[in-house]
């Protein structure tokens, strides 16, 4: 099972920032062996076919793998599939995530338990279980990196200063709060994910694993609703996030291990 390529597993790799990360890897001069994680093998295969058309001629290898964050059975099966093909993983990119908040905080109040439980199950618990499952392969790498994709909305420091993000309408006095988009389930789950990252940073420090959370910035993905509407609000191209993740994978931000990385530095806690 010897493999001289940099072996990566990226979850949620068939859409959005995950898919753009696959293309960024393909454009790199570094040869990668990329396990393209998606909820089904068919979705992974479709993403691979499209990516190789958009970025032809790469020396990297892509393989689809089915991995569903809300299913322990799926995660265990993905491990068995990958473990049978390679002797290690050099980088694990915990990219897959989901938001279940609506566009109206007043409506969300009625569905808070479902919104929060689903967000935590995918973004926090599922991500933690994937990490714990694949650690035995990760620590076999000579230069392992563990990446968690968080959000600019996860910062407690910014939220402590004002209702956040800055462009959001400020809540007025009274109840209910019409016209307010709080995304509270998503925000809370990503803040919790930062704690997960910190714990894995310390747990694996003596194994030589460099662990990061990446805050890719305000990007126009389906996760945030209508990508075109987000672009009109100033959201950037998801390819920016893909290139950022590739740079961290290739060691360009190793000095900032154990922190939440932004494009221009580090994000406040």
Q: What is the pLDDT of residues 8-50, one digit of tens each?
A: 999 999 999 999 999 999 999 999 999 999 999 999 999 999 9
In a domain, 71, yes or no: yes
On whether the CB atoms of residues 68 and 74 are closer than 8 A, the answer is: yes
Structural domain count of the chain: 1
Query: Which CATH number covers residue 27?
Result: 3.40.50.720
In a domain, 251, yes or no: yes
Enumerate long-range contacts of 108-116, CB under 8 Å, 24 or more apart.
108/182, 108/184, 108/185, 109/176, 112/185, 115/184, 115/185, 116/184, 116/185, 116/188, 116/189
186 is catalytic: yes
In a domain, 1, yes or no: no
Catalytically annotated residue among 187, 190, 210, 259: 190
In a domain, 141, yes or no: yes
151 is catalytic: yes
Spatial separation of the C-alpha atoms in residues 147 and 133, rounded to whole Å? 15
Catalytically annotated residue among 25, 60, 141, 186: 186
In a domain, 111, yes or no: no
190 is catalytic: yes
Measured over all CA atoms, what is the biggest interatomic distance in the chain, rounded to whole angstroms? 64
Domain range for 65 = 6-103+118-155+186-266
Catalytically annotated residue among 28, 74, 141, 151: 151
pLDDT tens, residue by residue, 161-211: 999 988 888 999 999 998 899 999 999 999 999 999 999 999 999 999 999
The predicted structure's pLDDT at residue 226: 60
Cα within 13 Å of Cα(36), Cβ side = 32
């Amino acid at each position: 099972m010897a493999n001289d390529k940099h072996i990566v597993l990226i979850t949620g790799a068939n859409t959005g920032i995950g898919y753009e990360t696959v293309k960024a890897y393909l454009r790199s001069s570094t040869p990668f062996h990329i396990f393209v994680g998606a909820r089904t093998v068919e979705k992974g295969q479709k993403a691979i076919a499209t990516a190789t058309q958009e970025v032809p001629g790469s020396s990297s290898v892509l393989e689809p793998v089915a991995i569903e964050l809300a299913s322990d059975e799926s995660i265990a099966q993905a491990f068995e599939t990958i473990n049978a093909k390679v002797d290690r993983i050099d980088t694990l990119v915990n990219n897959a995530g989901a938001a279940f908040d609506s566009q109206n905080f007043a409506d969300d109040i009625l569905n808070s338990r479902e919104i929060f439980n689903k967000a935590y199950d995918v973004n926090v618990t599922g991500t933690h279980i994937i990490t714990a499952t694949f650690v035995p392969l990760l620590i076999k790498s000579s230069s392992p990196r563990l990446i968690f994709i968080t959000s600019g909305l996860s910062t407690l420091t910014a939220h402590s200063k004002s209702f956040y993000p800055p462009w959001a309408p400020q809540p007025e006095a009274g109840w209910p709060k019409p016209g307010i988009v709080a995304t509270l389930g998503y925000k809370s789950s990503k803040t919790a994910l930062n704690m997960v990252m910190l714990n894995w940073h310390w747990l694996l420090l003596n194994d030589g694993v460099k662990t990061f959370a990446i805050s890719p910035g305000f990007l126009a993905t389906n996760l945030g609703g209508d990508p075109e509407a987000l672009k009109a609000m100033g959201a950037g191209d998801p390819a920016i996030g893909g290139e950022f993740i590739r740079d961290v994978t290739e060691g360009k931000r190793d000095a900032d291990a154990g922190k939440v990385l932004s494009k221009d530095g580090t994000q406040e806690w």
